Amino acid sequence: MKRRRTYPKEFKEEAIRLVEEEGLSCHQAETNLGIGVSVVSRWMREKDKLKEDAFCGSGNVKPSEKDFKNLQKELERVKRERDILKKAVAIFSEEPNRYSNS
């Protein structure tokens, strides 16, 4: 079974540049670079659709989602801190003699 080839972001951007700036057709660029048919056109559609988030790589968070992920993590931390404080208030609000040895 053939393994799918992966290309770095810079390679994809250079292939798109060949088409947009050098005036090559997608087919010519693919032939010159030795890549499959309609790959460059797919990369161009992805870049048009996602703009700066295009080609972030497998398993990497898109820059636009990075802030959202950071906010989610901070929210979870703040919720944990709040729950700890609620428990502390409950403990210190109870009758003071309840825990003494008298």
Tally DSSP H helices, then E strands, for the chain.
Answer: 4, 0
8, 33 in Cβ contact below 8 A? no
- Please give the pLDDT value at position 61: 65
pLDDT value of position 86:
92
Q: What is the pLDDT of residues 46-70, one digit of tens each?
A: 888 877 777 776 666 666 677 888 8
In Å, how far are 47, 55, 64, 66, 80 from 51, measured between CA atoms?
A: 5, 9, 11, 15, 36
Q: Is the dihedral of CA 82, 88, 93, 94 positive or negative?
A: positive
**End-to-end Cα spacing for the chain:** 77
pLDDT-derived band at 81 (thresholds 50, 70, 90) equals very high
